[in-house]
Structure 1
Amino acid sequence: MIVLDKPPGLLSVPGRGPAHSDSLATRVQAAFSDARIVHRLDMATSGLLVMARGLEMERRLSIAFQQRRVEKRYLAVVAGRPSPEAGVVALPLIADWPNRPRQKVDFESGKPSLTHYTLLSHDAASGHSRVELRPHTGRSHQLRVHMMAIGHPILGDELYGDIDSQNAASRLLLHASQLTLPHPLTGATLHFGSEAPF
């Protein structure tokens, strides 16, 4: 497998059309033709992502993700100060089809989605907080929608933030900072870390 530190602004996989052909996956596959995507990060999100080497390793890593044996931790800077300082956001999510690629909370048709958050620090001068986010599920835009839904949008989020939080940062302040997973061959627990660049 290959563990990568994705920069912000780069697609995890190619998008539609030639203008969106550049991606982390295509860059890695140019050097390792057997590299296969197992999970993704939003284009605006930076941080740790793992790719499998070959079909069998892809199968094993995919099973580890499905069985929730992979733990991901993110660092984010959000508007306001979450209260309580640690908690769980359990709001069902579904694609907002008229406004794709946006997702939305939908209590009737949404898929169960769970995020743990912990306040790490608060800057009273700016009114912003640094938080650790631990998704228990892996829905599209889950962390971004959940933080927005509890009134603390991630700074620089052009899809879900209000004008103030969008303008507070030049990029989405969300970084996949820790990844813990079983080695696909040995089963040994592996820990990877990446400092947030903000």
Structure 2
Amino acid sequence: MTVKELRDELRSRGGKISGRKPDLIQRLIDLDEKGVVSSPQTSGRDNDEEWYVLEPVISDASHHANASANSTFDQLGSVHIELPVLTTLLFVNKPSGMSTLPTRQQLLQKIGDNSRNDDEFRLPSFPCLSDSVKDWLINHPDGIKRMERAKKDEDQWWNSLLQSMSCVNDRNIQKIWKKKKRQREKQAEKLSTFEPRPVHRLDIDTSGIVCIALTPYALRTAGMLFEQKSRESSENKRSKEKGNTQSVEKRYVALVEGDMKSKDNKNQEQFIISHSIGKIWVQDSPGSDASDDGHHEWACDILGNGRVAFCRPGDTDRQMPLKFVHGTLRDALTSCRVVDMGLKNTSKMDVTRIELTPHTGRGHQLRLHMASLGHPIVGDEMHGLFKQNKFPELNGGKLCLHASNLSIECWRWHDNKILRGRAIVSSQPQF
């Protein structure tokens, strides 16, 4: 577990959160042995905050929706385009306080590694979205139907694609047909042992939409779209300013500290943040020379020269000229739109509702970019001024960051034809 996760768990149990990582680990172990459990309100583990399925709205691409071609192949267009079939994707809403994938100690327990007796292996872990969804897909009647339809529709898609290609008298198409046929055989072999899994991740503290792949081909193609989104945005930043559409688009809703309109240099409703993000090494004990007495933290390059790493406002220790870990600094791009400025909470402090669109997928990107402007996300202990920006009346004191919109290109069946379109999913935050 990270230092942040350790402190979250200690706080939910009423334990002391200061000190080095080994101290935090020992405190958790002591509390666990005493039977001190987490408070449901702060841990996000109460029954009112379970994950649930989200149904997408479909938007067909105009040049496919209006097509009048007679064959499936003509409807498909270019056979080079690899997209998941709509029904092979499951969209769910993840609550705050749930990990997207298993934690390290959960993985060790799964493989039966009982030889380990270190402190970290004995720690309690967060509830896991992927395990819970997988159990639903395997054991619940509705989940079983989802899996059966996913396999059936994808099988039909492969049959239609290969049959249409086999009828085309073109040498290049025939080469692609042979390649696709081998690809299908490989995917069929993987299907028997495949376990549904998330295509992307959300931080434990972040709530919102997660896309789950139900087949190996869906995981491969959807994963490629997410990677392509981040890569293309990094290579061509201007495309975002022009509003070009990507294969995958994500939007988040957040509450940030302060009235953003009062910032003279950001007195606008929409702008772009482009600070690169990388990792730095932080010593747990000031002045210690031990190479293992510390941990990595995400930080952004606020000066654009790779010399000053920013972690959180007002923390002088974190704004010193710290070196980024070699090879970790990467371009990061976020669009920010102010939705509602000058809101008040019960503490009579200003907060602003914003909409964030990440065009790259860097670690803690949205948190760091907003904190670098002096407007940390409400409830963000890691990159905000925790005492000033955690308000219990807002989202129960938890992080006010929610993945509210996701759209992804896909194939879908309609009137016995295959159309290319977009699955659009929405989810409302609790703040």
Same fold (TM over 0.5): yes
1:80 aligned to 2:258?
yes
| Structure 2: distance between partners of 1:121 and 1:29 | 38
From 325, 329, 332, the counterpart of 1:113: 332
1:196 aligned to 2:417?
no
Contact 1:61 1:184 in 2 (8 A): no
1:62 aligned to 2:223?
yes
Contact 2:91 2:212 in 1 (8 A): yes
| Structure 2: distance between partners of 1:97 and 1:51 | 33
Secondary structure class of the residue paired with 1:183:
strand
Q: What is the match of residue 137 of structure 1?
A: 360
TM-score, scaled relative to structure 1: 0.92
Contact 1:180 1:189 in 2 (8 A): yes
From 280, 283, 298, the counterpart of 1:103: 298
Aligned residue type for 1:90: S
Q: What is the match of residue 154 of structure 1?
A: 377
| Structure 1: distance between partners of 2:343 and 2:409 | 40
1:5 aligned to 2:93?
yes
From 337, 350, 368, the counterpart of 1:127: 350
Aligned residue type for 2:390: Q
From 384, 389, 394, the counterpart of 1:165: 389
From 197, 210, 214, the counterpart of 1:36: 197
| Structure 2: distance between partners of 1:35 and 1:184 | 19
Q: Structure 1 residues 49, 184: closer, same or farther in 2, change over 3 A? A: farther
Q: Structure 1 residues 130, 21: closer, same or farther in 2, change over 3 A? A: closer
Secondary structure class of the residue paired with 2:336:
strand
- Higher deviation after alignment, 15-24 or 68-77: 15-24
Instruction: Specify the structure having the higher radius of gyration (Cα).
Output: 2
Contact 1:12 1:41 in 2 (8 A): yes
1:25 aligned to 2:130?
yes
| Structure 2: distance between partners of 1:157 and 1:11 | 17
Deviations 1:144-187 (A, max 9, x none): 00000111100000101112013464000000000011126654
TM-score, scaled relative to structure 2: 0.44
Q: CA deviation at 1:100?
A: 4.4
Secondary structure class of the residue paired with 1:97:
strand
Q: CA deviation at 1:78?
A: 0.3
| Structure 1: distance between partners of 2:410 and 2:132 | 23
Contact 1:57 1:184 in 2 (8 A): no
Contact 1:176 1:194 in 2 (8 A): yes
Aligned CA RMSD, in angstroms, stands at 1.9
Contact 1:60 1:184 in 2 (8 A): no
Secondary structure class of the residue paired with 2:104:
coil
Deviations 1:19-54 (A, max 9, x none): 226310111112236312210001000000101012
| Structure 2: distance between partners of 1:187 and 1:38 | 20
Secondary structure class of the residue paired with 2:362:
coil
| Structure 1: distance between partners of 2:411 and 2:381 | 36
Secondary structure class of the residue paired with 2:404:
strand
Unpaired runs of 5+ residues, structure 1, are none
Structure 1 runs, 4 residues or longer, greater than 4 Å off: none
Q: CA deviation at 1:75?
A: 0.3
| Structure 1: distance between partners of 2:199 and 2:295 | 23
Deviations 1:87-116 (A, max 9, x none): 110001012333646310134362000000
Structure with the higher helix share, 1 or 2:
2
Unpaired runs of 5+ residues, structure 2, are 1-88, 107-123, 139-194, 230-246, 261-265, 283-293, 307-327, 413-418
Sequence identity percentage: 32
1:94 aligned to 2:321?
no
